[in-house]
Chains A and B, each alone.
Chain A
Amino acid sequence: MSAIRVDPAGQASGLESNLARVLQAGTYLSIALVAVGVVLLVAGGGSPLDPGPPFSLGTLVQDLAGGKPAGFLWLGILGIVATPGVRVFGALAGFWRRGERRMAAVALAIIAVVALGVFAGLMTG
């Protein structure tokens, strides 16, 4: 594979615009959640230098319902980490709709590699 196709320069295509919106929305929403968590942490007398609680899905829901800083911090950080992955899912759908099967396969391969990373992390952790 030596040639990578580039759309004509100028206005962003629908796919690029949509992916840009995904990245923007994901970042702003996640940072807002983290900021709420930081405010709650400081307001509650906590310090960023105190070790935070580890991630747990069950605790996350409870912490969010109880308005605890850890819930907002974890949800925001998960959002930050997931945002580029959501962009790849969006690209997969976009390329598939356009009939660009090779690029759709690339997107699918990226998702598979990241999923493998989660699996490998859990297995070796």
Chain B
Amino acid sequence: MLVGGVAAGAFGSLLGLGGGVLIVPLLTIGFGLPLREAVGVSLVCVIVTSSASASVYLQRRQANLRLGMVLELFTAIGAIAGGLVAFLIDERVLAALFAALLVYVAVTMVRARPAAVEDEAAPVASTAQPIASATATDELVVRRFPAGVAGSLGAGVISALLGIGGGIVKVPVMHLVMGVPLRVATATSNLMIGITASASAIVYLVRGGIDINAAGPTAVGVFVGATFGSRFGGKVEMRLLRVLFVGVLLFTAFEMARRAVGAS
């Protein structure tokens, strides 16, 4: 479990994922944990990676604290609603939702454009034009705020149901819908993930949905793996890693789909 956590943390860090998308299948398919219990453990791990990376993003001024806090109010509401609903849903439905999520992430990774990397490297708030404008008083003007609120609520629900950070929803909503520069959106999403996952983890915790014996080694492993991944990320052949990872995601989606139909 510790080694699996290290691998999930390292992969997640190298590929810009929170790790939840890997931890839940690892614990359910690899160690036979019930899906809901795996989601509870995953939420704890997601908070670890979010808090560690958000501290760096805040120091570097990449995360927008104000935007993040306004939106995390809504992700927290969604997360609590999702956390409560998660205990009412059949695990096979959750497995089906997770399989769909894995396919979505795999497709997103295949379709990832190199242009996004250029946007990643841009200085904070200076590339806001034309999708968002930074005024002379350094105000980041976001557009379609109600849509951003709706997206944040949805991200919170998905996070709580599936044990992921919800960045795969938050980043596109902030960047494509609200016009926030990608680099700022990624860093701000990371900051928000902490409260999103924390709100749902609290619901899991008070309802006995977090097993400390499974959560302990996995969280330590994820922390070590994420630290390792962020330090040595530059030395890894990313294209090969991406192809390998897409294969792993699709295989895991297949296994989750089998669980959904009761085949395993």
Q: A114 and B220: CB pair below 8 A?
A: no
Q: A118 and B206: CB pair below 8 A?
A: yes
Task: Flag whether A1 is at the interface (Cβ < 8 A).
Answer: yes
Q: How long is the Cα–Cα vector from A122 to B199 in the complex, in angstroms?
A: 14
Give chain B residues whose Cβ lies under 8 Å from the Cβ of A51: 211, 213
In the complex, which range does the number of interface residues on chain B fall in? 35 or more
Q: A116 and B58: CB pair below 8 A?
A: no
A24: nearest residue on chain B (CB-CB)? B55
| A77, A109, A110: the one within 8 Å of B219 (CB) | A77
Name the segment of B17-25, B103-111, B120-128, B245-253 touching the other chain. Answer: B120-128
Q: Which 5 residue pairs are nearest across A and B when measured between Cβ atoms?
A: A84-B194, A121-B206, A52-B213, A117-B80, A23-B55
Task: Flag whether A48 is at the interface (Cβ < 8 A).
Answer: yes
Q: B69 and A77: CB pair below 8 A?
A: no
Residues of A near any B CB (own CB < 8 A)? 1-12, 15-17, 19-21, 23-24, 26-27, 30-31, 34-35, 37-38, 41, 46-55, 69-70, 73-74, 76-77, 80-85, 87-88, 91, 103, 106-107, 109-110, 113-114, 116-118, 120-122, 124-125
Q: A38 and B47: CB pair below 8 A?
A: no
Q: How long is the Cα–Cα vector from A81 to B199 in the complex, in angstroms?
A: 8
Query: Taking chain B's interface residues, is the majority helix, strand, or loop, or is none over half, making it mixed?
Result: helix
Residues of B near any A CB (own CB < 8 A)? 1-2, 31, 44, 47-48, 50-52, 54-56, 58-61, 64-67, 69-70, 72-73, 76-77, 79-80, 83-84, 87, 123-126, 134, 137-143, 145, 194-195, 197-203, 205-208, 210-220, 223
Q: B205 and A81: CB pair below 8 A?
A: yes
Q: How long is the Cα–Cα vector from A76 to B195 in the complex, in angstroms?
A: 17
Minimum C-beta distance from B12 to chain A (A): 16
Give chain A residues whose Cβ lies under 8 Å from the Cβ of B205: 55, 77, 81, 121
Question: Can you spell out 9 A-B residue pairs with CB atoms less than 8 angstroms apart?
Answer: A6-B134, A9-B61, A23-B52, A24-B52, A31-B220, A52-B215, A77-B210, A87-B194, A121-B202
Give chain A residues whose Cβ lies under 8 Å from the Cβ of B211: 51-52
Contact flag A120-B80 (CB < 8 Å), given A12-B61, A70-B212: yes
